[in-house]
Amino acid sequence: MLMGKVVGTVISTQKDPGLQGYKLFVVQCVDVSMKPTSSYVIAVDAIGCGEDEMVIVVQGSSARITERTKNKPVDAAIIAIVDSVEVGKNRVYEKYKQ
């Protein structure tokens, strides 16, 4: 799993029928201190998230076992919206304080 911020949307008018009706988002990965990295991933939204939200992304075979992505041509799926993150005893992220 990786964590990142939804920073953009991918618009695709021509795509595999298995992806019809799915939103594709650009997710910028973050490190454990919640600082953006130079890594990005395009992920299918399996939960109904939105732009600027901090999310958890799974990749590979794990991306194809959610209820919405089962047996779909998906390599990365957003599976959770992050409410808070603690590293050690320090809270490094809180959704409602951003």
Q: What is the mean pLDDT of each run of 10 residues along the chain (98 residues)?
A: 97 88 95 95 94 95 83 91 94 88
pLDDT of residue 1: 94
Give pLDDT, residue 56: 97
Contact 44, 23 (CB under 8 A): yes
Domain boundaries along the sequence of the chain = 2-97
Give the Cα separation of 33 and 2 in Å (integer). 13
Q: CB neighbours (10 Å) of residue 63?
A: 20
What superfamily in CATH does domain 2-97 come from?
EutN/Ccml (2.40.50.220)
Looking at the chain, which runs of residues are DSSP E strands? 2-10, 24-30, 36-45, 54-59, 76-81, 84-87, 90-94
pLDDT at 98 (0 to 100): 67
Query: What's the pLDDT score for residue 73?
Result: 87
